[in-house]
């Protein structure tokens, strides 16, 4: 019996069944515009740092005068610091790489929408994707941080007066991109509300018998440190610094197994028996990386950073037979800080909780 039949008659089942239909309709709408949304609003058809800067400047001029609640979320007051940090970054932008990536993505844009598409024709302006990319990248001034600051502070009028070719291309497709985004956000909300109704009916039917869904909200997971078997061979629960160096030597220090020169230079100072990583049965999901691992005494013992291949199905179904979370051991952090990076004061502060004088 399928789930729709099972929830019939349960509290909230009418809402849940209607939610199925709403989700299906929303999904059809999203599917129908998925290609254009990916190309235009997500920006995959204009893949370059210069284009992202140009569009940010264009939209900032339009969005910033509006009330905070009426802006696109990336231009909200709460996100201003992050937005400006990225917009005014001094990191280098390489012209040849920009031409290559923008040219490739314009080629993909034309292949997906077709050469006869009106937007494609306006974007390419009668040129090949590579030639058009070179023209736009060489002609734009958005690589200049001072130029970006002047336009950002001057608002829409300054942006329009700049007559920058890449900004004007972003303007050319911005109305279409915004319309696609509006539909995506509206239908995405329909899907979220529909899922909430289905979860309520599911909870009414299953109670605590069902495994909880994974969200990006705060959650705790409990497990044990435990190895596993793969291809009939035992995989130990712990690795060590010694194993790190042995593995690098076995692979002849070829990437990605090569060690930084500093680690080779200071190998003799390390206790190679120090545990480096460990695996556990703690259930994890995307977003858990960087989470602290504590023992039953509440002591910090590591940081989650990955899961093994067998943990991938945990998004849908948890099993501790082979799936494992992978954490870096706290002892490895202290050992590396003290003996590789010579940050002994920091290591002592982490242990004592107090900054040395």
Against a cut of 0.85, is the pTM above it? no
Residue 201 has pLDDT above 90, yes or no: no
Residues 6+ away with beta carbon under 8 Å from 72: 59, 63, 181
Are 181 and 34 part of one and the same domain? yes
Residue 1 has pLDDT above 50, yes or no: no
pLDDT of residue 143: 97
CATH number, domain with residue 243: 2.40.10
Across 185-189, 202-206, 220-224, 246-250, least confident range: 202-206
pLDDT of residue 287: 78
The first and second tokens of residue 17, run together, are 């069944």
Are 53 and 181 part of one and the same domain? yes
The predicted model gives 325-336 an average pLDDT of 97
Percent share of the chain, pLDDT over 90:
78
Structurally, how many domains does the chain consist of?
2
* Structural domain contains residue 95: yes
pLDDT of residue 246: 96
pLDDT digits (tens, 9 = 90+) for 80-135: 999 999 999 999 999 999 999 999 999 999 999 999 999 999 999 999 999 999 99
Decide which of 159, 186, 213 is a domain's last residue: 186
Are 271 and 132 part of one and the same domain? no
Residue 272 has pLDDT above 80, yes or no: yes
Distance in angstroms (rounded) separating the CA atoms of residues 234 and 216 = 33
Residue 8 has pLDDT above 90, yes or no: no
Are 304 and 178 part of one and the same domain? no
Exposure letters 313-333 (e unless 16+ CB within 10 A, then b): ebeeebebeebbbbbbbbbbb
pLDDT digits (tens, 9 = 90+) for 149-189: 999 999 999 999 999 999 999 999 999 999 999 999 999 99
Decide which of 186, 214, 239 is a domain's last residue: 186
Give just the sign of the alpha carbon dihedral 125, 126, 130, 134.
negative
Decide which of 136, 160, 186 is a domain's last residue: 186
Question: Does residue 4 or residue 297 have the better pLDDT?
Answer: 297
The predicted model gives 20-43 an average pLDDT of 92
Are 178 and 245 part of one and the same domain? no
pLDDT of residue 264: 95
pLDDT digits (tens, 9 = 90+) for 225-264: 999 999 999 999 999 999 999 999 999 999 889 999 999 9
The predicted model gives 285-299 an average pLDDT of 90
pLDDT of residue 95: 96
pLDDT of residue 355: 78
pLDDT digits (tens, 9 = 90+) for 301-324: 999 999 999 998 887 788 999 999
Q: For the chain, count helices (H), then strands (E).
A: 13, 7
pLDDT of residue 215: 57
Q: What is the mean pLDDT of the chain?
A: 91
- The conformation of residue 213, written as its DSSP 8-state character, comes to P
Question: Does residue 219 or residue 331 have the better pLDDT?
Answer: 331
Residue 34 has pLDDT above 70, yes or no: yes
Are 168 and 249 part of one and the same domain? no
pLDDT of residue 10: 65
The range of the structural domain enclosing residue 178 comes to: 26-186
The first and second tokens of residue 175, run together, are 């109305």
Are 156 and 264 part of one and the same domain? no
């Amino acid at each position: 019996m399928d789930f729709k039949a099972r929830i019939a008659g349960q509290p909230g089942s009418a809402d849940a069944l209607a939610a199925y239909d709403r989700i299906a309709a929303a999904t059809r709408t999203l599917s129908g515009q998925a290609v254009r949304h990916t190309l235009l609003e997500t920006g995959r058809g204009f893949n370059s740092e210069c284009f992202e800067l140009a569009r940010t400047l264009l939209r900032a001029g339009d969005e910033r005068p509006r009330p905070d609640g009426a802006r696109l979320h990336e231009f909200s007051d709460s996100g201003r610091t992050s937005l400006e940090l990225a917009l005014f970054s001094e990191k280098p932008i390489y012209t040849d790489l920009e031409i290559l990536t923008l040219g490739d993505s314009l080629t993909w844009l034309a292949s997906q929408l077709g050469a006869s598409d009106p937007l494609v024709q306006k974007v390419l302006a009668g040129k090949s994707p590579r030639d058009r990319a070179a023209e736009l990248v060489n002609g734009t001034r958005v690589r200049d941080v001072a130029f970006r600051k002047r336009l950002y502070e001057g608002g829409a009028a300054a942006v329009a007066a700049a007559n920058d070719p890449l900004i004007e291309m972003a303007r050319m497709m911005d109305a279409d991109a915004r319309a696609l985004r509006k539909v995506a956000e509206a239908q995405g909300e329909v899907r979220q509300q529909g899922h909430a109704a289905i979860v309520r009916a599911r909870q009414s039917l299953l109670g605590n018998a069902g495994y909880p869904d994974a969200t990006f909200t705060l959650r705790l997971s409990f497990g044990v440190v435990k190895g596993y078997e793969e291809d009939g061979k035992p995989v130990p629960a712990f690795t060590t610094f010694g194993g790190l160096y042995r593995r690098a030597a076995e692979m002849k220090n070829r990437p990605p197994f090569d060690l930084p020169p500093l680690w080779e230079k200071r190998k003799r100072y390390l206790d190679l028996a120090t545990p480096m990583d460990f695996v556990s049965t703690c259930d994890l999901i995307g977003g858990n990386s960087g989470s602290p691992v504590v023992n039953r005494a509440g002591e910090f013992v590591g940081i989650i950073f990955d899961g093994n291949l067998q943990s991938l199905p945990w998004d849908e179904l948890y099993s501790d037979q082979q799936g494992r979370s992978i954490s870096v051991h706290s002892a490895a952090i202290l050992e590396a800080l003290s003996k590789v990076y010579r940050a002994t004061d920091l290591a002592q502060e982490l242990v004592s909780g107090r900054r040395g004088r």
